[in-house]
Amino acid sequence: MLTHHRKPVCLSLISTDLPLWSVVETAATLYQKDRDRFHLLLTAPTVTNSKEALNPSSPRVLWLEISPYRVTMTMQGNAQLSYRHFWERGVYGITRYWLPNESLQPHQPIRLRNFTRNLTLNGNSLPENLRLEYELWAGKVQLGCYILNLEIHH
C-alpha cells in the first residue's frame, strides 16, 4: 500500500572544486512505495528572468526516487530547463538536460555521465538523510565533483 507523509526537507548541492552551492528548504511529500523504496516530490523554486516577469509560469516539480541502492532525480515543468539524473554507487549513470523551447534543438537532450563515489541513505522506517557524492563527466572531461545532500525532518 502506498503511504505518504508531508515533511520539511532541506536539499543542498555543493561542488567540492567549483564555486557552486545551492540550498532549497521547503515542504515535500514522501511516498513509501515499499520497505526500502520511496518517492519524494517537492516544488522547486521559481527561476525568474525578464520573460517570466511578464508571463508567470507554473511551478517546476522535483521528483526523487530513492532506495539504498540507487537514486533518480527528475526536474520538469513550465518549458524551462529540465533534467534527469541516475545515480548508483560505483556506476557511471546517465544525466540528461533538456533546454528551454527557445533553444536550437528543444527536444534533444544534452547527455552527460556521472560516476557515483558514494550513496548513503540513513533512517529507521523512513529516510532521514540521503548523501550522494559524484563526479560529472562530458566525454573524457570531468566537469566537477559534487555532493547532493537531502535532509528529511520528522
In CATH, what number is assigned to the domain containing residue 116?
Answer: 2.40.128.20
Cα 72 to Cα 84: distance, rounded to the nearest angstrom: 7
pTM of the model as a whole? 0.84
Q: Work out whether the CA dihedral 107, 110, 113, 118 comes out positive or negative.
A: negative
Residue 41 is part of which domain span? 3-152
CB 146 within 8 A of CB 22: no
**Tens-place pLDDT, residues 69-116:** 999 999 986 667 789 999 999 999 999 988 776 655 556 789 999 999
Q: CA nearest 30: which of 2, 58, 11?
A: 2
The total domain count for the chain is 1
**Tens-place pLDDT, residues 14-70:** 999 999 999 999 999 999 998 899 999 998 766 555 455 445 556 778 999 999 999
